[in-house]
Amino acid sequence: MLSEYSIRRSVEFVETDMAGIMHFSNFFRWMESCETAFYRSLDLPQISFVPGQIVGWPRVNVSCDYRAPLRFGDTAEVRLLVMEVRTRALVLGFQFRRCDAQGVPQGPVVAQGEMTAVCVTGGPDGVMRAQPIPEAFRAKVAAAPASAWAE
């Protein structure tokens, strides 16, 4: 079972403000990119369309604390940690670290985020309803030990 995953990305010009600093909203986009790659690595759908049903993971809570800027051209690691697997929800933590020229994360965490997503099914009336996380999903995902979150 997997409890941790990471990706590396470079800050693109389009992701920055006029000072060349990555706009705060892009940290959330990077969290979602890492989450999607995590699900793909486990061969799990992030959203599945089944006739008469839609299963997905809408967000019910997101946050991000910013400690230092990422700038145009910086490469950073986005590290995902499964913090909790609840009956109907998944809590994911994210840490951002700047990488050196070889792509190795260096130095302190520059931002730290959290996302809570609820497993839902879409009913025939179009209303989303929370559902227990499927066993096929639970069999592949586990909460990371608290010590993994250490900076």
Q: What is the pLDDT of residues 15-27, one digit of tens each?
A: 999 999 999 999 9
Is the residue at 105 inside a domain? yes
What is the band of 52 on the pLDDT scale with cuts at 50, 70, 90? low
Q: Does residue 74 have an active-site annotation? A: no
Do residues 88 and 132 lie in contact, with contact meaning Cβ atoms separated by under 8 Å? Answer: yes
What's the pLDDT score for residue 138?
A: 92
Is the residue at 149 inside a domain? no
**Residue 126 per-residue DSSP state:** S
Q: What digits encode the pLDDT tens for the residues 89-106?
A: 999 999 999 999 999 999
Is the residue at 127 inside a domain? yes
Measure Cα distances from 140 to 23, 36, 52 in Å. Answer: 33, 15, 26
Catalytic position from the list 17, 43, 65, 100: 17
Is the residue at 150 inside a domain? no
φ, ψ for residue 78, nearest 5 deg:
-110, 115
Is the residue at 22 inside a domain? yes
Query: What's the domain count of the chain?
Result: 1
Q: Scanning the structure block, which residue is given the tokens 């586990």?
A: 142
Tokens of 127: 């209303």
- Section 125-148 average pLDDT: 89
Which range of residues forms the domain containing residue 38? 4-144
Output the average pLDDT for the chain.
93
Is the residue at 28 inside a domain? yes
> Measured between alpha carbons, how far is 75 from 104 in angstroms, rounded to an integer?
9
Is the residue at 85 inside a domain? yes
> Measured between alpha carbons, how far is 29 from 14 in angstroms, rounded to an integer?
13
Cβ-based neighbours of 22, under 8 Å, separated by 6 or more? 11, 15, 16, 69, 70, 71, 72, 74
- In terms of Cβ atoms closer than 10 Å to its own Cβ (0-12, 13-18, 19+), residue 20 is middle
Q: Scanning the structure block, which residue is given the tokens 């009913």?
A: 123
In the three-class reduction of DSSP (H, G, I as helix; E, B as strand; rest coil), residue 120 is classed as strand
Domain with 50 in it: what CATH number? Answer: 3.10.129.10
